[in-house]
Amino acid sequence: MDDRNNTIAGWVLGGAAVALGLSIAGGMIFHGERPEKMGYAIEGVEEAGAGGGEAAEPIATRLAKADPAKGADVFKKCAACHTINQGGANGIGPNLYATLGEPVGQGKGGFAFSDALKSVGGNWDFDKMDAWLTSPRKFANGTKMTFAGLGNAQDRADLIAYLNQQGSNLPLPAAPAAGAAPAAKDGAVANVTDSAKGDTADIANQGTPASGAPSVDPAAKKDKALAVEPPAKK
């Protein structure tokens, strides 16, 4: 009887030791520490707060230093859905040959654009394309485009320069001169000049008596005022 009890106790202790060992090993392999950064990175999604909140340079400035060769590399992110060769077939997205300058949401061999994009109106220019590549959903709320957008402003300019070379060839806008003052509204400069002239004339005329009027010495005015006796008390 004692041998049987000892055997059972030995099996219980052995099982407990095995369970403890497996628990320790599992904890080392599948540790439960909270990761430093939650979630998974998704290509094309701009991280919240990226870029330090700084506003991007105007598209004309970025296009002036854009590199179409780099834009071709950026286009690889688009190649899964778009072709860009002349006469290329539509895929998940439309063929993009000669897109700049075309009406927004129209043409492209019968591609079925969303009503949201069709409602934008106008033609694809550099500003519209920059806004579209920044966030398709913000540009046309309800678009079928699932790409989240390009967060890097210069990458967008490089890509636009590359797209422009593929059958569009629109003239690039002139980059604003460094330190150039913003253009004044019509008549603003003239009004400021006339106002300054008037202020100068007023200053020059202060203290000058009108023609034929006797001049009065300010010191004399002060003395005269001091000489006036106060009224007698009743």
Q: What pLDDT does residue 192 have?
A: 40
Find out whether 98 and 83 touch, Cβ atoms under 8 Å: no
pTM of the model: 0.56
In a domain, 143, yes or no: yes
**158 pLDDT tier (thresholds 50, 70, 90):** very high
Across the chain, what does the average pLDDT equal?
75
Eight-state DSSP code of residue 215: P
Q: Which domain holds residue 138?
A: 54-165
- Could you tell me if residue 26 is inside a domain? no
For 74-131, the pLDDT digits (tens) are 999 999 999 999 999 999 999 999 999 999 998 788 899 999 999 999 999 999 999 9
State which amino acid sits at residue 105: G
Confirm whether 109 is domain-assigned.
Answer: yes
Q: Is residue 94 part of a domain?
A: yes
Rounded mean pLDDT of 195-205?
A: 47
Is 32 within a domain? no
In a domain, 225, yes or no: no
8 Å CB contact between 148 and 43 = no
Number of domains in the chain: 1
Question: Could you tell me if 126 and 60 are in contact, meaning their C-beta atoms sit under 8 angstroms apart?
Answer: yes
Residue 155 lies in a domain: yes
Residue 47: predicted pLDDT: 40
Here the CATH number for the domain that contains residue 72 is 1.10.760.10
What 3-state DSSP class applies to 136?
helix
